[in-house]
């Protein structure tokens, strides 16, 4: 994909299943913000093709594996769901978290306290506000470095599924 071949890595926006609440407005604001600050953008979510603007390097996909796209992003905009947050932390890329419900608020606060994310309330999302926040994050070398540091710590940990499987095998004496 040529979006990932340019001089600037794209902002990736993935709001998960919670996008049905306020998603379209957030995707639209993110696309407009990226146009304003001249950043390429990948919108990942269902039925977003009408927000794409190839002339401004704004692309939309119904689906993209976060494990592949997040490490290639300059910044990730997401809802703060646990799996998406984990993928963003593993990728080593700063986030802008826009929580909607449940544990997302706690995840947003925790990643902000780690120094790897900023958060914004859903009702404060506009193209102008996102443009300012995106620029602030992208220009902040400290948040970039902290995101990379956290990623290295996560990558150094053993694979959780593998450890769990080994424990089950050991417990059941299947070795």
Check: CB of residue 111 under 8 Å from CB of residue 89: yes
For residue range 50-81, what is the model confidence (pLDDT) as tens digits? Answer: 999 999 999 999 999 999 999 999 999 999 99
Q: Note if the pTM is more than 0.75.
A: yes
**Residues 6 or more apart whose Cβ sits within 8 Å of residue 163:** none
* pLDDT by position in tens, the chain (length 175): 578 888 899 999 999 876 666 789 999 999 999 999 999 999 999 999 999 999 999 999 999 999 999 999 999 999 999 999 999 999 999 999 999 989 999 999 999 999 999 999 999 999 999 999 999 999 999 999 999 999 999 999 988 889 999 899 888 976 5
């Amino acid at each position: 994909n040529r979006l990932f071949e340019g001089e600037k890595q794209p902002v990736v926006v993935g709001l998960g299943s919670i996008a049905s609440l306020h998603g379209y407005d957030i995707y639209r604001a993110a696309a407009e913000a990226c146009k304003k600050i001249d950043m390429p953008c990948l919108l990942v979510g269902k039925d977003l093709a009408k927000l794409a603007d190839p002339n401004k390097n704004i692309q939309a996909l119904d689906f993209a594996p976060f494990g592949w796209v997040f490490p290639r992003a300059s910044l990730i905009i997401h809802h703060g769901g646990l799996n998406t947050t984990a993928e963003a932390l593993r990728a080593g890329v700063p986030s802008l978290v826009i929580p909607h419900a449940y544990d997302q608020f706690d995840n947003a606060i925790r990643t902000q306290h780690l120094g790897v994310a900023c958060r914004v309330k859903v009702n404060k999302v506009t193209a102008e506000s996102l443009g300012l926040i995106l620029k602030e994050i992208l220009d902040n070398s400290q948040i970039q470095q902290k995101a990379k540091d956290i990623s290295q710590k996560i990558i150094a940990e053993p694979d959780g599924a593998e450890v769990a499987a080994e424990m089950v095998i050991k417990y059941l004496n299947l070795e």
